[in-house]
Amino acid sequence: MSLLVVGSVALDNVETPFDKIENALGGSSTYISLSASYFTAPIWLVGVVGSDFPKEHIELLQQHGIDIEGLEIIEGGKTFRWGGKYHYDLNVRDTLFTELGVFENFDPKIPEGKRNPDFLVLGNIDPALQIKVLEQIESTKFVVCDTMNLWIENKLDELKEVMKRVDVLIINDSEARLLTNEPNLIKSARMIRDMGPKYLIIKKGEHGALLFSEDKIFSAPAYPLESIFDPTGAGDTFAGGFAGYLDSTGDLSFENIKRAVIYGSTMASFCVEKFSVQRLTELTKLDIRERFMEFLELSRFDEK
Amino acid sequence: MSLLVVGSVALDNVETPFDKIENALGGSSTYISLSASYFTAPIWLVGVVGSDFPKEHIELLQQHGIDIEGLEIIEGGKTFRWGGKYHYDLNVRDTLFTELGVFENFDPKIPEGKRNPDFLVLGNIDPALQIKVLEQIESTKFVVCDTMNLWIENKLDELKEVMKRVDVLIINDSEARLLTNEPNLIKSARMIRDMGPKYLIIKKGEHGALLFSEDKIFSAPAYPLESIFDPTGAGDTFAGGFAGYLDSTGDLSFENIKRAVIYGSTMASFCVEKFSVQRLTELTKLDIRERFMEFLELSRFDEK
């Protein structure tokens, strides 16, 4: 089952209370693809980098079976760079710099032969670009879309257009409240689903995630992590694990979408254990399965 | 199985964005006892009121099978009064007034014949008083203790003494962080358990609750309420449902304590649907069972 991923590819400088790293592989499509690569193939990545993009990052993606035909390399251009600093409680981060480079004029082009993916994941980019992607797609079974406060605040019309055309929208709790101006998350979720997406996932960080369909709600626990090394990319990693698992099973029942939320949470819980994508490059299927079972144990109770 | 409840009995004035109520029945021991009354008997309430305490409130407690031999009525004294106002998002509340009345000199006296309860619930009162209660107890199987930020800030030594002598401590997430000065709740929980309690429950409001034992964690979902009418007493109601269910089953296994957390959450979810204790006076066992099953459905997923 093919999975097409469109998003940013970046070089990140990240500083946490514990350590710092420079020129680390980052970007939404990177995290999504690496996370999904543990579940499904082929994965088709679409993005843009400059000629400064390190060869070893390309090789890493390829080692994970990610098809980078759609990764445009602009000769003489500079790769998107982001610098961020996390504070003690890791919920607050400061963006130190954003150098868009070639990403400023990103015009996603889906290669021929890749316009009929089984699954499409629209990473967190300008919704105007997400629309451009959707317009190139000839057919697909399921569209997963991520977004953020920046687009809710600045590109709401375009985002609303995207929302009408996706199966699952993934946002966090503060973004849901921002999008609807409604503090109650359950009400907010209903309002967002009324804007288009068949399913809505609201991520709540240390409090887990909520999945909403027309008539059902699923509450997923958070993995009890005693220390978070680097939260960068956790949301993208969630989306990648979610879409990768669903794509690999081809089962779009609510029961299976619940499992996909847990696999997304599983991958995100690994992601934050080390800097950058590092933890996502060294996992085994057994690691993932074991943690999935820990999630099961964490929230399971029986009637008596 | 006998359950002894010690805490405040109060008359509340509550104002929410939706409505307001005056002289409503309130206080921690009231909510705890009414909530527990759906699960177990006898319930022995210990508290103090003035001679202004309305007769119908006494009758209500008695109608729920609550034994009020331990409710001291001080002739000419005034019942503890609390006034609070909730704002739009219902997470913030202002205390408008606190008139301690007879509660200022509350000296809990456990009646003879009631000093060997199967279960003891120490409602949220000054830990110095909680110690006075513990000193009167001849034997008990299980002690549940509630507390709050006020005592963490002002009576920490006494609270630490109490914590050494209880089986379960129930607090909310901000109180756990305050008590340990540790933002990570999982670390914070370990630190609190090291202070004494065998089990710890951290309530997280709209995000559910976490139960910790020495080597296990259980994550309980929150009931997805679209509107909360009055949050007053929800924490006490949780404690009452939790202890009442455990007491009624006599099963202190971790599996059963998990179910007790869900029954506590179930009762709290009813409590907030109407003003004061109103919703807790009109439930049926079937209502409670049905909502418990909704909690099960809300968080259940299977491996494939």
Tell me what the mean pLDDT of segment B207-229 comes to. Answer: 95
Average pLDDT estimate for A28-37: 98
Q: Give the single-character DSSP code of B108.
A: -
Residue B147 near residue B160, CB atoms below 8 Å: no
- Lowest mean per-residue pLDDT among A67-81, A135-149, A247-261, B10-24: B10-24
**Chains A, B: CB contacts under 8 A, how many?**
97
Note whether A259 contacts B221, CB cutoff 8 Å. Answer: no
pTM of the model: 0.95
Nearest CA-CA distance, residue A126 and chain B, Å: 30
**Which chain A residues contact residue B184 at CB under 8 A?**
225-228
φ/ψ (deg, to 5) at B303:
-75, 160
pLDDT in the model for residue B229: 87
Mean predicted lDDT score pLDDT of chain B: 96
Tokens of A302: 């029986």
User: Helix, strand, coil: what percent of chain A each, to 5?
Assistant: 40, 25, 35
* CB-CB under 8 Å, A183 with B219: no
Q: What is the pLDDT of residues A63-87, one digit of tens each?
A: 999 999 999 999 999 999 999 999 8
- ipTM of this complex: 0.93
- B301:A225 CB<8 A: no
| pLDDT, position B132 | 98
Q: For residue B10, is pLDDT > 80? A: yes
Q: How many residues does chain A have?
A: 304
CB distance A304–B217 less than 8 Å?
A: no
Q: What does residue A158 show for φ and ψ, rounded to 5 degrees?
A: -65, -40
Peptide bond into B197 cis (omega under 30): no
Is residue B247 very low, low, confident or very high in pLDDT (cuts 50, 70, 90)? very high
pLDDT exceeds 90 at position B92: no
Cis status of the peptide bond prior to B231, with omega within 30 of 0: no
Report which DSSP code applies to A223.
P
Phi-psi region of B76 (alpha: psi -120 to 50; beta: other; left: phi over 0): left
How far is residue A177's CA from residue A184's CA, in Å, rounded to a whole number? 8
pLDDT tens digits, B174-193: 999 999 999 899 999 999 99
The model's pLDDT over A159-186, given as tens digits with 9 standing for 90+, comes to: 999 999 999 999 999 999 999 999 899 9
> What integer is the mean pLDDT of B25-39?
98
Q: Which pLDDT does position B297 carry in this prediction?
A: 97
Tell me which residue in B224, B259, B302 faces A217 most closely, judged by beta carbons: B224
Residues of A in contact with B258 (CB under 8 A): 301
Say how many C-beta atoms besides its own lie within 10 A of residue A188's C-beta.
Answer: 24
Per-residue pLDDT at B227 exceeds 90: no
CA–CA distance from A266 to each of A26, A287, B42, B277 (Å)? 19, 10, 45, 41
- The band of A304, judged by pLDDT with boundaries at 50, 70 and 90, is confident
Confidence of residue A254 (pLDDT cuts 50, 70, 90): very high
Distance CA A66, CA A59 (A): 10
- CB spacing of B219 vs A299 below 8 angstroms: yes
Share of chain A above pLDDT 90, in %: 93
Sign of CA dihedral A63, A69, A72, A75: positive
Task: Write the pLDDT tens digit of every residue in B43-68.
Answer: 999 999 999 999 999 999 999 999 99
Query: How does the average pLDDT of chain A come out, rounded?
Result: 96
Q: Residue B88 above 80 pLDDT?
A: no
A201-239 confidence digits (pLDDT tens): 999 999 999 999 999 999 999 999 998 889 999 999 999
Answer yes or no: is pLDDT of B197 > 90: yes
Q: Provide the pLDDT for residue B93.
A: 85
A296 and B303 within 8 Å at the Cβ level: the answer is yes
Partnered with residue A103 across adjacent β-strands are none
Q: Stretch B21-49: mean pLDDT, rounded?
A: 97
Q: Identify the CA nearest to A233 among candidates A189, A261, A268.
A: A268
| Residue in chain A lying closest to B185 (CA) | A226
pLDDT reported for residue A92: 76
**Overall average pLDDT of the B211-225 stretch:** 97
3-class secondary structure, A200:
strand
Helices (H), A143-276: 149-154, 156-163, 173-180, 185-194, 234-249, 254-271
- Chain A residues with a Cβ under 8 Å from any Cβ in chain B: 88-89, 183-187, 190, 204, 206-208, 210, 217-222, 224-228, 249, 255-256, 258-259, 262, 292-293, 296, 298-304
Whether the per-residue pLDDT at B89 is higher than 80: the answer is no
pLDDT value at residue B237: 98
Say whether pLDDT at A27 is over 90.
yes
In this complex, do B187 and A221 lie within 8 Å of one another by their Cβ atoms? no
Residues of A in Cβ contact (< 8 Å) with B227: 184, 187
Asked if the model's pLDDT at residue B291 lies above 80, the reply is yes
